[in-house]
Structure 1
């Protein structure tokens, strides 16, 4: 069994209005040093696979087909074996 920590974020070329709103709020609270904020999502998925290679392939498929929009978003993931 493997645990995948998946991170989905908007591509750098895509405007992030939520990130802009958070940055503006931080500035209004006095945190002028904040230069940029990007909002994303983190998912934790337990997957039962025979080996790491198979788990990586399945996580990529899941990310590309369901968890991310390939036109606007990028994803990365970390995979760890769990007992």
Structure 2
């Protein structure tokens, strides 16, 4: 498979229990929040991973969707307040 074909793959992801097709090899925290329809400033995005600790996905952090099957993500209100 060529690099161009890999770029055009569709990745099945789940955001806040809703399935989405993502047509890029990477997704960022900002993308996840956009798909969830939540406020960028007051919510965080998380990657649901096996084990007790899920992974915070920063707005500019890229998660590689090519490595596994369906990726699960969720959003939640930020727990700390600034200022």
- TM (norm. structure 2) is 0.31
Higher relative contact order, chain-length normalized (CA < 8 Å, sep 6+)? 1
More helix by share: 1
* Greater Rg over alpha carbons, structure: 1
- TM (norm. structure 1) is 0.31
